């Protein structure tokens, strides 16, 4: 049973949060007139739902883990302007859902007197903007619960760097200060915010700052009940939602419809949609072939059907979408240490619990004895550990390894995805499209 429910106030939010940022019904009471904000906070959680499947598809199908078979879905595998064809199914729900989450969070931040509610709202707002920036680059910034309905200039996209520095980082720092380390009913916690802040700093290449945040999570995890699952298979699927390894997940429920009304992430990776009945990329198969004896293989790939069973079909629509788990944080921490010049033996030792769980031997620092070799080892480990969790493409982009790993020269304009054309048009071109689309 899911722990986050929509209350009456969130129904109000659903009514008022429209598809376009410049629309607002005049006959609905303002959010500031409410006295309780738990329902609106639940709405901020809920609206993250529609980002789950688009993130999965962008993260794995754009990269070398999976591919589409049927046009126009094959546009994900071709690096040109044609990807705008995927607006209705992927970029539109992703964009509008996250901005609705932001509007809901803004209302709580502006009006709630409950410090924990505000901390959770700031975490969700930061998470939404982090997803938007990684996908689109520069984005519209709105920090008001009731933005102007007449001034379209507020829709102009802001530089990604300022979104990180002026919104995402301050919000996560505030969430860290406001929230408990204890995870309650799968809601945002101190370590969810701290782990995400570490991930943000890694994304920005600020490895010194990343190390501080990630170290705190790794060292404090056990006391907060966060630990690696002993069995890799028992991380994924509805039966294992909110297990000990999950630091934060977007909770999904088959009983609540969201804006994403198509095949969901577990369907795409499992080959259950006719657009890609055999989505598994042979490049990922080769990566597992090179990792002899890896117990993650049978959980992650099935070469008999050329698909991934990682998120089982049973309980499908109730599978939570994992936003951050301990293994991801450990690998990011190892990466930050390596980039900061820590000795190879120390860095590689962090990977031992992850590799032991996978049935693999520890990596030899006598062989992997340079920063470059350790860097590659960590990225290889991330690929096998996090396949079909929406990470791969974003890892390739941030590490500058897109061309090397994809085996082709790809115009950097297509490292980002297209802003929904409907948003560009409805803003009367105040919102500019990404170059190349």
Residue 39 located in a structural domain: yes
Helix axes 371-386, 282-289, angle to 10 degrees: 120
CATH code of the domain in which 337 resides = 1.25.40.390
Residue 46 located in a structural domain: yes
How does residue 258 score in pLDDT terms, banded at 50, 70 and 90?
confident
How does residue 193 score in pLDDT terms, banded at 50, 70 and 90?
very high
φ, ψ of residue 139 to 5 degrees: the values are -140, 160
Residue 260 located in a structural domain: yes
Does the structure show a pLDDT above 90 at 4? no
pLDDT at 33: 55
pLDDT at 275: 96
Does the structure show a pLDDT above 70 at 27? no
Q: What is the rounded average pLDDT for all residues in the chain?
A: 92
Residue 416 located in a structural domain: no
Dist. CA 43–CA 282, nearest whole Å: 40
Does the structure show a pLDDT above 70 at 29? no
Helix axes 115-136, 49-56, angle to 10 degrees: 30
DSSP 71-82: TTGGGGGS-SGG
Residue 115 located in a structural domain: yes
Using an 8 Å Cβ cutoff, are 259 and 96 in contact? yes
Does the structure show a pLDDT above 90 at 407? yes
Range of the domain at 189: 8-403
Does the structure show a pLDDT above 70 at 394? yes
φ, ψ of residue 324 to 5 degrees: the values are -160, 125
Count of C-beta atoms within a 10 Å radius of residue 288? 18
Give 140-177 pLDDT, tens digit per residue: 999 999 888 889 999 999 999 999 999 999 999 999 99
pLDDT at 34: 59
Residue 422 located in a structural domain: no
Residue 385 located in a structural domain: yes
Dist. CA 73–CA 52, nearest whole Å: 18
Does the structure show a pLDDT above 60 at 14? no
Q: What total of structural domains would you count in the chain?
A: 1
Average pLDDT (358-368) is: 98
Residue 430 located in a structural domain: no
pLDDT at 19: 38
pTM score: 0.93
pLDDT at 315: 80
Average pLDDT (52-80) is: 97
pLDDT at 149: 81
Q: pLDDT exceeding 70 applies to what percent of the chain?
A: 92
């Amino acid at each position: 049973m899911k722990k986050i429910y929509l209350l009456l106030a969130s129904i109000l939010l659903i009514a008022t949060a429209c598809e376009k940022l410049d629309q607002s019904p005049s006959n609905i009471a303002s959010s500031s007139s409410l006295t309780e904000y738990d329902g609106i906070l639940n709405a901020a959680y809920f609206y993250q739902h529609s980002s789950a499947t688009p993130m999965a598809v962008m993260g794995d199908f754009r990269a070398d883990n999976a591919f589409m078979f049927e046009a126009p879905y094959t546009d994900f595998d071709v690096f040109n302007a044609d990807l705008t064809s995927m607006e209705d199914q992927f970029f539109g729900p992703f964009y509008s859902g996250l901005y609705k989450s932001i509007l809901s969070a803004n209302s709580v931040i502006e009006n709630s007197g409950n410090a924990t509610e505000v901390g959770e709202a700031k975490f969700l707002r930061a998470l939404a903007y982090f997803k938007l920036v990684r996908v689109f680059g520069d984005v519209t910034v709105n920090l008001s619960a009731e933005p102007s309905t007449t001034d379209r200039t507020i829709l102009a996209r802001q530089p990604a760097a300022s979104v990180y520095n002026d919104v995402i980082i301050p919000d996560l720092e505030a969430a860290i200060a406001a929230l408990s380390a204890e995870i309650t009913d799968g809601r945002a916690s101190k370590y969810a915010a701290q782990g995400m802040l570490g991930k943000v700093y890694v994304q920005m290449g600020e490895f010194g700052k990343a190390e501080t945040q990630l170290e705190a999570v790794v060292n404090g995890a056990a006391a907060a009940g966060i630990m690696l699952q002993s069995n890799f298979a028992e991380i994924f699927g509805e039966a294992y939602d909110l297990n000990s390894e999950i630091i934060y997940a977007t909770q999904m429920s088959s009983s609540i419809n969201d804006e994403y009304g198509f095949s969901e992430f577990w369907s795409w990776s499992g080959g259950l949609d006719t657009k890609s009945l055999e989505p598994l990329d042979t490049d990922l198969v080769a990566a597992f072939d090179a990792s002899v004896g890896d117990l993650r293989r049978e959980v992650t790939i099935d070469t008999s059907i050329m698909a991934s069973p990682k998120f089982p079909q049973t309980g499908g629509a109730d599978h939570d979408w994992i936003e951050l788990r301990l293994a991801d944080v450990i690998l990011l921490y190892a990466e930050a240490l390596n980039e900061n010049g820590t000795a190879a033996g120390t860095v590689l030792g962090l990977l031992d619990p992850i590799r032991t769980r996978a049935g693999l031997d520890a990596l030899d620092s006598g062989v992997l004895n340079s920063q470059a070799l350790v860097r590659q080892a960590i990225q290889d480990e991330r690929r096998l550990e996090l396949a079909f969790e929406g990470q791969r493409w974003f890892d390739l982009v941030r590490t500058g390894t897109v061309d090397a790993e994809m085996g082709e020269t790809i115009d950097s304009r297509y490292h980002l995805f297209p802003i929904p054309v409907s948003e560009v048009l409805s803003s009367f071109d105040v919102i500019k499209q990404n170059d190349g689309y």
